[in-house]
Chains A and B, each alone.
Chain A
Amino acid sequence: MTVSAKSFQRWRLHVAAEVSLTELCRQAGFKRATLAQQLVRGKVSVTAVVAISRSLGLAPVKELSSFDPFGDLADGVREPTAAELLSQVSHLDVMEYLVQRSRADEKETVLPQPGPLPHPASVRTWLEAVDRGDLRQMMANVSGVAPQNISAAVSANRLSPHLAVIAARLSEVSLTSGLVVTGILTPEEGSWPNGGRSEALLQLRDSKLVALAQGRLEEMAKAVRKRERDDERAREVWETLG
């Protein structure tokens, strides 16, 4: 999702009036041609705004809030919930921690060390974690994006910034959460506490940890079954005709 070129230009003159667009792009490590093209089309990507904010030493969340679709972003920043934090631990990391905790001695505390965020299914697990019923349908209603397009994006572990914020707004969680799990913002920029995921895992009772791993395993089973079936189908074609 994007912000309008007009509002982008206004913002740019406000935050860095004396810096040329070329210079701005160079500092932000953003392709000048890409930005120029976006300006011509009248829509500038959120990624560009975030990159430029970072290079100017500004907080992306605060800067994004000066754009229309994200007006309430800065005011809507909260602590992420435990469910959100857990959703950002990958399947394998959940299981690895389960194994580690099971094998640890009575007195020993194993510190979970979840891998990078976002993980390969970040968007889906986050939406499931914040969903209070019919979230995707409501996202479609509010944004006007067709439900099947939302599903396709989620399957590819993508979600436009606009939809990410809408989902957070509808679920009444921190408005930056969706931008964190899609990798637009770093956890720090989105006010996710350092080591928050680790802490959330640590706080889980054994039974809850097992249940979490069970849910993730079921998802994995489904995905692996589908992949195997797809492979079989693809094989059948050239086996029969090749």
Chain B
Amino acid sequence: MNAEIIKFVVLGVVLIAALMRLKATIQGRNRSIFVALVLMLVGVALSIESIYLAVDGALGGLNYANLLIRFVMFTIFVILGVKMAKAFESPWAARLIVGPVGLVVLAICSVLAVLFFIQSDLPQSSVGLHDYGSQETVRWYGRMGRIYPTFVAACLIVPAARCALSRSASVATRVASSLLTVGFTIMLGHEIGRELRLVHGILDVILPFSTVLLVTVGLIMFVVARVMGEKAERPKALSDRC
């Protein structure tokens, strides 16, 4: 499959997910998730060559758009990390993600990403900085951008899996949580595979974008779960089935 097609399909799904929340967001419900979806839209769009070249051209053609993607990613994962740790009632995940450890990791990664970016020689727009992959500083710049998101994803695997397995949650909630579990696991696996030089070619597109797709569809399923949950009667705790 063509890499560009995959990206456009994912872009469409993220757009649908964002639009689905538009009304609720205006009413003030879970605004931060909407923000995360819009940022995902920006991130996915900037991974598409034609859009990247246009945007980066407007920013001066020196790949500042790529630096923008890094910070878009950081913001997305702070939002998702906080909200999901809260939703899955996992205080330890919340502490890791936005506690001292998480924030220090995030700060260091941000500073180093900027430093490595400045140190690199990036004279022309290149989507994903593919033309400059041979530069050591570019590789480290990429790593700095991935550490925190991967760390957050790793923290959320267990809480999401626990929700997916809990019998008391509704089917939609469990499906959504399963999608997140798989998505974050793929993300972690992809990073490990990349560091071990096991991931090449089209897989390098399929894996990260399947994570985006799974997380986005998961977020859609949570909306479904909410709509169904609000409609359903609160289950009677008292019954003769004790």
The chain A residue with its CB closest to the CB of B21 is A242
Taking a contact as CB atoms closer than 8 A, the residue among A230, A234, A241 that contacts B30 in the complex is: A241
Q: Say if the beta carbon of A120 comes within 8 Å of chain B.
A: yes
Are A235 and B229 in contact, with the CB atoms below 8 A?
yes
Distance in Å: Cβ of B29 to nearest Cβ of chain A: 8
Are B87 and A220 in contact, with the CB atoms below 8 A?
no
Q: Using Cβ atoms and an 8 Å threshold, which residues of chain B touch A91? A: 240, 242
The chain B residue with its CB closest to the CB of A241 is B222
Taking a contact as CB atoms closer than 8 A, the residue among B86, B227, B240 that contacts A92 in the complex is: B240
In angstroms, Cα B227 to Cα A73, docked, is: 54
Q: Say if the beta carbon of B238 comes within 8 Å of chain A.
A: yes
Q: Say if the beta carbon of A223 comes within 8 Å of chain B.
A: yes
Are B237 and A242 in contact, with the CB atoms below 8 A?
no
The chain B residue with its CB closest to the CB of A120 is B241
Q: Say if the beta carbon of A237 comes within 8 Å of chain B.
A: yes
In angstroms, Cα B33 to Cα A219, docked, is: 41
Q: Using Cβ atoms and an 8 Å threshold, which residues of chain B touch A233? A: 89, 166, 168-169
Q: Using Cβ atoms and an 8 Å threshold, which residues of chain A touch B223? A: 242
Interface size class for chain A? 20 to 34
Q: Using Cβ atoms and an 8 Å threshold, which residues of chain A touch B186? A: none
Are A228 and B225 in contact, with the CB atoms below 8 A?
no
Are B83 and A228 in contact, with the CB atoms below 8 A?
no
Taking a contact as CB atoms closer than 8 A, the residue among B33, B87, B219, B242 that contacts A237 in the complex is: B87
Are B87 and A240 in contact, with the CB atoms below 8 A?
yes
The chain B residue with its CB closest to the CB of A227 is B237
Taking a contact as CB atoms closer than 8 A, the residue among A219, A241, A242 that contacts B242 in the complex is: A219
Are A241 and B241 in contact, with the CB atoms below 8 A?
no
Q: Using Cβ atoms and an 8 Å threshold, which residues of chain A touch B170? A: 234, 238
Q: Say if the beta carbon of B211 comes within 8 Å of chain A.
A: no
Are B176 and A231 in contact, with the CB atoms below 8 A?
no
Chain B residues numbered 213-242 whose CB sits less than 8 Å from any CB in chain A: 219, 222-227, 229, 234-235, 237-238, 240-242
In angstroms, Cα B241 to Cα A120, docked, is: 5
Are B240 and A242 in contact, with the CB atoms below 8 A?
no
Are B163 and A237 in contact, with the CB atoms below 8 A?
yes
Q: Say if the beta carbon of A239 comes within 8 Å of chain B.
A: yes
Q: Using Cβ atoms and an 8 Å threshold, which residues of chain A touch B88? A: 237
Chain A residues numbered 186-242 whose CB sits less than 8 Å from any CB in chain B: 219-220, 223-224, 227-228, 230-231, 233-242
